[in-house]
Amino acid sequence: MTPLLRLGTLMWALFLALWSVAGAAGTLAALPAPLESFEAGSLHVDRYGDGGRTLIFIPGLGSGPWSWAEQITRFRSSYRVYVLTLSGFDGRPFVAQPDLFGTFSRDFRSLLDTRHIAHPVVIGHSLGGTLAIALAEQHPERLAGVIALDGLPVFPTVAQQTADQRIAAAKAFAARIASQTPEQLLAAEVTYMQAIGTIDPALVQPTAALEARSDARAMAAWTQADLSADLRPALPNAKVPLLELMPYAPNGPYTEDQTLEFYRALLAGAPNLTVEPIDGAKHFAMLDQPALVDAALTRFLAAVAVGPSTPPRR
Query: Is residue 223 a contact partner of residue 173, using CB atoms and an 8 Å limit?
Result: yes
The pLDDT tens digits of the residues spanning 65-90 come to 999 999 999 999 999 999 999 999 99
Query: Is residue 230 a contact partner of residue 153, using CB atoms and an 8 Å limit?
Result: yes
The Cα–Cα gap between 196 and 261 comes to 20
The Cα–Cα gap between 130 and 140 comes to 15
Query: Is residue 149 a contact partner of residue 124, using CB atoms and an 8 Å limit?
Result: yes
Among 42-46, 134-138, 247-251, whose mean pLDDT is lowest? 247-251
The pLDDT tens digits of the residues spanning 256-310 come to 999 999 999 999 999 999 999 999 999 999 999 999 999 999 999 999 965 554 4
Q: Is pLDDT above 80 for 49?
A: yes
Return the CATH superfamily for domain 3-303: Alpha/Beta hydrolase fold, catalytic domain (3.40.50.1820)
Average pLDDT, the chain: 90
pTM of the model: 0.89
- Domain-wise residue ranges, the chain: 3-303
Average pLDDT over residues 16-25: 35
Percentage of the chain modeled with pLDDT above 70: 89
Task: Determine the pLDDT at residue 52.
Answer: 79
- Of 147, 81, 135, 79, the closest CA to residue 108 belongs to 135
Task: Determine the pLDDT at residue 227.
Answer: 95
- Of 250, 256, 308, 278, the closest CA to residue 150 belongs to 278
Q: What is the DSSP string of 241-278?
A: -EEEEEEE-SSSSS-HHHHHHHHHHHTTT-TTEEEEEE
